[in-house]
Amino acid sequence: MTWYAAHIVMQIAVNGRKDVVAWENIVLVQASTVEEAYDKADEIGREGEGDSNGTLELEGDPARMIYRGTRRLVTLSSPTDNENNPTDGCEITYLQIKLDSQDALRDYLEGDGDARLVE
């Protein structure tokens, strides 16, 4: 079986709000096939839906969590385990980004800059 990092996208929705607030939660799943990994990720996402028994709020307004989909799966890569099981130092996910300059990279690292994702 293979370990995957599943990028599960959840939206916190408030009635009447036009802006969208969402999280990309990265969750480890183990599966025999990519299809099985997506199925597991979908199940995890659906289980995360709801309003926490009426206690979920966004900026003081009642809210609900909605599963929007699994954006991607990344196969784990372990530097010390030949079967790529999760270990200390294991790469569980990555994003390739494109920046305009070294200064833009510095700003990005400091949290002040934007980057374009390369898909």
Q: Tell me the per-residue pLDDT of 18-44, one tens digit each, with 9 for 90 and over.
A: 888 899 999 999 999 999 999 999 999
Q: Which of 82, 100, 70 is nearest to 6 (CA)?
A: 70
Q: What is the side-by-side order of every strand in the sheet holding 64-75?
A: 21-31, 2-13, 64-75
Q: What is the pTM of this model?
A: 0.79
Q: What is the residue range of 18's domain?
A: 2-75
Residue 87 inside a domain? The answer is no
Residue 27 inside a domain? The answer is yes
Residue 20 inside a domain? The answer is yes
Residue 54 inside a domain? The answer is yes
Report CA dihedral (45, 47, 53, 56) to the nearest 10 degrees.
Answer: -10
Residue 115 inside a domain? The answer is no
Residue 92 inside a domain? The answer is no
CA distances from 24 to 2, 78, 81, 84 (A): 21, 22, 27, 23
* Structural domains in the chain (count): 1
Most confident of 18-27, 60-69, 76-85: 60-69
Residue 8 inside a domain? The answer is yes
Residue 71 inside a domain? The answer is yes
